Structures are given as C-alpha cells and as structure tokens.
Amino acid sequence: MIDVEDLIELVSTYNPNTNKALIRSAYAYGLQMHEGQERQSGEPYFSHPVEVAALLTEQRLDDATIVTALLHDTIEDTKSTFSEIEKRFGHEIADLVDGVTKLTNLQLSSSEAKQAENFRKLFMAMSKDLRVILVKLADRLHNMRTIKHMRLEKQIQKSRETMDIYAPLAGRMGMHWMREELEDLAFRVLNPDARASIIRRFITLQKETGNLVPAITDDIRAVLGRANVVADVFGRAKKPYSIWRKMQDKKLGFSRMSDIYGFRVIVNSEEDCYLTLGAIHRRWKSVPGRFKDYISQPKSNGYRSLHTTVSGRDGKRVEVQIRTRQMHEVAEAGVAAHWSYRDGERVENPFAVDPTTWISSLTERYDQSDDHDEFLEHVKLEMYSDQVFCFTPKGEVVKLPRGATPLDFAFAIHTRIGHSCVGAKVDGLRVPLWTRLRNGQSVDIITAEGQRPQMSWMDIAVTGRAKSAIRRSLREEHRDRFITLGRELTRVAFEHIGKKATDKALGTAAKKLNLDGVSQLLEFVGSTELSARDVVMAIYPELGDKQADVDVASERSVVGLPKGVDVTRALCCQPVPGERIVGIKHRGSGVFVHAIACDALAELEDEPDRWVDLHWHVGRHAANNAVTLNITIGNAFGVLGRICTLIGEQKANISDLHFIDRKPDYFRILIDVDVRDAEHLHAVMTAIEADSDVASLDRHRDLGRKP
C-alpha cells in the first residue's frame, strides 16, 4: 500500500502548494475508519482508496479530489457520516464524498425504467460537480485491475457494466486512455479466448515481420525532419479489444486487418499540425474516407487532433494522429483537463472545456423528457456514438450522431424545417429520407407548406430531438382521433376478459403506468405507444393470459407483402412479432423479414428498390418464431435442467441446444427457443435471468447466417 508521504510526493510533483496536512489527516482518518476491513484479495481494504487517489494524481487533480478518493468509501462502508466528514474536512469534500457514495449505490444495469431514472441521477450528480464522476471512474478502473479476486459471476456482471456504461462514459469525457484500458480489462473477463487469440496472432505477426512500430516511427521522424517540423513521434499496437471490435464490425479475420498500429505526432503549433499532415500525405498514400479534422471541428469535450490513415511501410495501413502539446493534454485528460494543476496553479489550457458548459450540453434535453425509452435513447446516443459533421448549403456545420439521416439533419436545423421536410439532396443528388449521412456531406432540405410529420418517420429518425418532435406533432395532430381509437381498443380488450373499461378503471391503470390521467392513457393506446393489453395487465395482471387477441395464422403473420410472394424470417436478426421490421426482396426467394435495427441492412442502403415496408399482423401469433439465446451458466448439478424447466414454464419450446464453450466452472450454450412475440421472448429471458446460476444472457446475433 502506498505510504501517505509517497502519496503527498506524487501530488507535489505537479502541485507544490498542496495542503499536506489535509492529505495526511484524510489518510489517517480513512485508515482508521477501514481498520480491520479486507478486500477479496486479503489486502487491507484501505489500499483501494489509496490506489484510487494515486490514479487521480496522474491526472494532476486538486487536493479536494485526492482527499475525496481517500474517503470515498467511508460513508458507505464504515460508521462515518456526512456530518462528521463535513466537520473534519469541509463542506466541499463532504459533498464530493456523498456524491460518489450515491453513484456507487446506483444500479445502472437494471430494468429500463429503473435504468433511465438512475442514469438521470448519474447526470444530475455530474452536473453538480464533475469531479464526482472522475473519482468514480478511477474507483472502477482500480476495481477492474483487481477483478480476478471476485467470484466469476461477479466478474462477469462488473465487466459487462464496465463495458456498457463506464468505458463509454470515459470515452465521452475524452479520457480515451481510460476507456481503452476499461474495455480491455472487461474484454479479458467477458471473452478471454478471443483476447488470447488476438495476442497470440500478434506474437506470430511480430515473429514474421519484426516489430514494425520502431521502424515506422523512424520513417515518420525522417519525413518530418526533411519538412523541418520539430515533433515527438510515438507508436503502438492497438489494444486487443479495439482490434476485436473492428474485426466484428467489418467482418474481417485478423489476417485481413491492416490498421492495427497507431501513431501519434506531437508538434509545437497548429500550423505545424497541417505541415505534418501534408508531409505525411506526400510521402505515403492516404486511405480515402479516413481523414478527420477535429482541429477545425473539435469534439464537444474539447478534443482536437488531425486523424489520417495511410499505407505505410510494406503497404501496412497505419493510423496517425497529429496534435499540439496543449491539444495532447486535453486528449489525454479529456474534460478533466479543466481541473488539472501545474506548479501549484490551475492549468489555463485554451482547449480545455468548462465542465459546466459540457455537462449542460449533455443534459439540457434530458430534463424535458418524461418518457423512459426516449431518455435512455438520448443517453446512449450521447455516450456511445461518434459524430458526423455535415454542411448546410450556406456552409454551416451541423453535428449529428453516426447513422443520422437527412430527417435528423432537418430537425437539427429547426423544428419547423423538420416538420415541413418532403425530401433532401445530399451533395446535389436527391436521396431518400432514410439515407445515412457521412462526414463532410452537404445536405439541402426540401420543404413544402402543409407538410406534417408522418408516422413512418419514427422508424427513419435517429436522434432524440427528431423523434421527440415527431412524436409530439403526431400526438397534437391526431390527439382526438387517438383518444377515440384508444377508447374503442380498451373497451374491446376489457370485454374480452368480461370486464368494463370504466373511467375509474382506466384512471387506476393510468396511475399504475405513471401517465397523466385517462386522456393521456387513451391517446397512447390509440397511437400504439401503449397496447390495450398493457392497460388490462396493469389492473388485472392475473388475467393477462386470458386476454388473447385473435389468433394469427402463420401464413398471414406479416402485412404489406405483394400478392403471392413468399416471406421468410431472416436468420441474422431473427425478428419476432412486436418488433419493427422491414422486408428485403431476393430474386427467386421472395421477401426476407429483418428487424429494423439489423446490421445486415447497412449493406443494402444503396438498393432502395429492394426494400418493402412491412409490419406484423395484430393478434396472437403462434409460438413458432425461433430465437437463439446466448447463455452463460455455472457448471453445477441440475442447472441446465432447471433452465430448460424455466423455459417450459413460460410455454416456450426448445428446438435446438448446443454448447459453444465448456470450462471447469461455467458453460456457454446457445439455445433456440420458439416464442410467440417480443413480449413472450421478454418473459422467457426474464425468467432465465432471474436464476442465480445464470451469469449472462443475451440474444445471439449472427450476421454470418444471412438468407
């Protein structure tokens, strides 16, 4: 465990004016509070807060943050209280410790409604003081570095949470070094075989070609020397998880991966950045579509760099990042650069983003959302997606998430433009509204008076802003019709189980569904945002199985097909009734039905004539829609039999089962389960996931199983 004087020495290297007495006092208090407690490894528990504090010194953070790290588990795990910490260390530190404690208690991987509320609390804590999340990220990083001492199921749970939430959050904050390490540590647990395979192939590659990093680094230095550019050049092989993800995204084997090396060039001025770019492009051939200028268009977290990929030595693709030293500080620390100290003073880096501005841009729309799905959609777009930069006809830049469409572009300009959108031109060519935009494209929105948002736009729009505006407009325009339709639908649903849809019953259902009264409930039912069955189940959950809609024959389960055309569910995404779908024509094979979010559809964007607008027939479908579940279970007596029994109890049939990984302590299996619809599938997965011996469960997607 790091001694208190060693910790003070770490802080003093960047902050000679540090309050040594404060750090000594916090260290002694934390050591006393955690006395007798041990970690899973057998080490004294207080070694963990000390390591977290040491991690934060690498980011040159202030005394209050370092002290918070030393005390961050005292309120939760010891007899210490908020008032005692406030009395000893002041209100600022007490608030920070309390904020970290509240984050620790959030279950971010819970059900969607709970997850949305917890994400809201997460962002509220961040908006109050961003240093809270900096401590929490350092806490998670140290826990992941020592995760091997936990039980396997706990390792898997923490690793999945890290991969899904904390790593993307670190990346969104610009702390890419932390994102990469968190991802790789989680990858080591979630897919150890894949990680080991990539490392073995790296070793083999180095034996065959030698270590290319020093050679390419020398090549770049020589090119810059001839161009009279003073620079530091660093190179490295990319992390195993980064390579594996690229292999999955591009469906490439390791032998076909080219840009597995990354190089960084640090120069003295912005002018030198562009001189360096020119020198590198003159020496090596650039790869089309792989250039990004984040200097003229910086990311919202302050990140600035030039990115380019070139065919370097022996035709090997290498990625090169070019930035100044001040840009590099922000690229390493992200938003945390705002808090960095040097020589006892806060660093005035012109590229560091004010956390208040950054967090308000992240949360400004969330407070307006009263819909769980909509809020989670906002969060995931902000945290998980890269951005594309497109231009208006006047040359103004519009930032959008990757995968955005002209419709999203229209609403990003102004809600009025979005409402009246009838078409779009991209780089001068007329394109469908569902076209996915790419970096650097010029977009011209075509509008017409009298145009109003269409229901089909909900499947086209990607951004939360566009979806919210469309949903709001549809509600306003069709509100009376939706209420009338909703009342009829609920009347029929209630009569089906021998009950009446009285205003009192509907009011009770609205309250249970967290809606503002009967009118909103009927409006949601009429607009299909809520099913009449959900309303019945809210009041009479025990009668849910009796509310069976009209049985739907298998041959007419899909609506929208041309007459006489055969239809087949795509094996890659295995869509089920209740999910949004689209049809793809195949010559001689009829139409294959895909889930609207299926990754295979990306390959067909340029063939709009093959797309068919489809939806599922309303009613009760037969339980003959096979879905493959990927399950990791403990290797214990009777576990597999219990899982099969759970599936049977949900009235689902197992049509196939095979093992894909056998280990002494766990099995990974693929089970094909026949279900009626998305709701039936959810019930099956919920029952399985609740079993204590199930470590992980998800739907198996296999793009290799294309029709």
Residue 342 lies in a domain: no
Backbone φ and ψ for 192, nearest 5 degrees, come out as: -65, -35
> Who contacts 159 (Cβ-Cβ below 8 Å, separation ≥6)?
144, 147, 185, 186, 187, 188, 189, 190
- Beta-strand relationship, 341-342 and 345-346: antiparallel
> Does residue 349 lie within any of the structural domains?
no
Q: Do 452 and 476 belong together in one domain? A: no
pLDDT number for residue 533: 80
Q: Is residue 200 part of a domain?
A: no
Residues 563 and 525 in one domain: no
Residue 378 belongs to some domain of the structure: no
Distance from C-alpha of 402 to C-alpha of 387, rounded to nearest angstrom:
5
Q: Quick one: 676 and 540 in the same domain?
A: no
Same structural domain for residues 117 and 247?
Answer: no
How far the first Cα of the chain sits from its last, in Å, is 58
**pTM of this prediction exceeds 0.75:** no
CA 26 – CA 415 distance, rounded (Å): 52
* Alpha-carbon distances, residue 63 vs 47, 53, 128, 335, 342 (angstroms): 19, 10, 18, 18, 13
Q: Based on the structure, what is the number of domains in the chain?
A: 5
- Residue at token pair 């027939």: 617
- Position 202 in a domain: no
Look at residue 312 and give its three-state secondary structure: coil
Question: CATH no. for residue 49?
Answer: 1.10.3210.10
| Torsion angle of C-alpha atoms 341, 343, 348, 350, degrees rounded to 10 | -90
Same domain, 211 and 162: no
Same domain, 616 and 503: no
Do 249 and 331 share a domain, yes or no? yes
Structure tokens that stand for 161 in this block: 């949470």
* pLDDT value, residue 552: 67
Looking at the fold, whether 24 and 12 belong to one and the same domain comes out as yes
What CATH number is attached to the domain comprising 633? 3.30.70.260
Domain that holds residue 428: 385-462
Residue 561 domain-assigned (yes or no): yes
8 A C-beta contact, residue 49 and residue 146: no
Final residue of a structural domain among 306, 336, 366: 336
| Six token digits for residue 296 | 């003229």
* Helix (H/G/I), strand (E/B), else coil: 296: coil
Please check whether residues 182 and 297 belong to one and the same domain: no
- Asked if 541 and 554 sit in the same domain, the reply is no
- 495 by Cβ neighbours in 10 Å (0-12 / 13-18 / 19+) ranks as exposed
User: Residue 457 belongs to a domain with what CATH number?
Assistant: 3.10.20.30
Distance CA 466, CA 478 (A): 18
Domain CATH for 228: 3.30.460.10
- Helices and strands (H, E) in the chain, number of each type: 28, 25
Give 84-100 as a DSSP string.
Answer: HHHHHH-HHHHHHHHHH
Question: Distance of CA 368 to CAs 206, 209, 375, Å?
Answer: 53, 56, 9
Residue type, 142: H
3-state secondary structure 446-510: EECCCCCCCCCHHHHCCCHHHHHHHHHHHHHHHHHHHHHHHHHHHHHHHHHCCCCCCHHHHHHHH
CA atoms within 13 A on the CB side of 35: 7
| Cβ-based neighbour number of residue 699 at 10 Å | 13
Residues of the chain with pLDDT under 70: 105-127, 208-210, 249-259, 313-315, 343-344, 346-347, 354-387, 478, 527-528, 542-555, 703-707
* Residue type for position 299: K
93 and 183 housed in the same domain: yes
**Coil, helix or strand for 548?**
coil
d(CA 620, CA 551) in angstroms, rounded, equals 5
Give me the pLDDT at residue 113, please: 47
Which residue do the tokens 């959030």 mark?
A: 106
CA angle at 214 for the pair 209 and 220, rounded to the nearest 5°: 115
Query: Do 700 and 657 belong together in one domain?
Result: yes
Q: Which of 427, 462, 497 is the last residue of a domain?
A: 462
What does each C-alpha distance from 699 to 441, 525, 702 come to in angstroms?
Answer: 35, 28, 10
Phi, psi at 671, each rounded to 5°: -120, 125
Tell me, yes or no, whether 361 lies in a domain. no
Q: Which sequence positions are flagged as catalytic?
A: 76-77
At which of 409, 435, 462 does a domain end? 462
Q: Is residue 370 part of a domain?
A: no
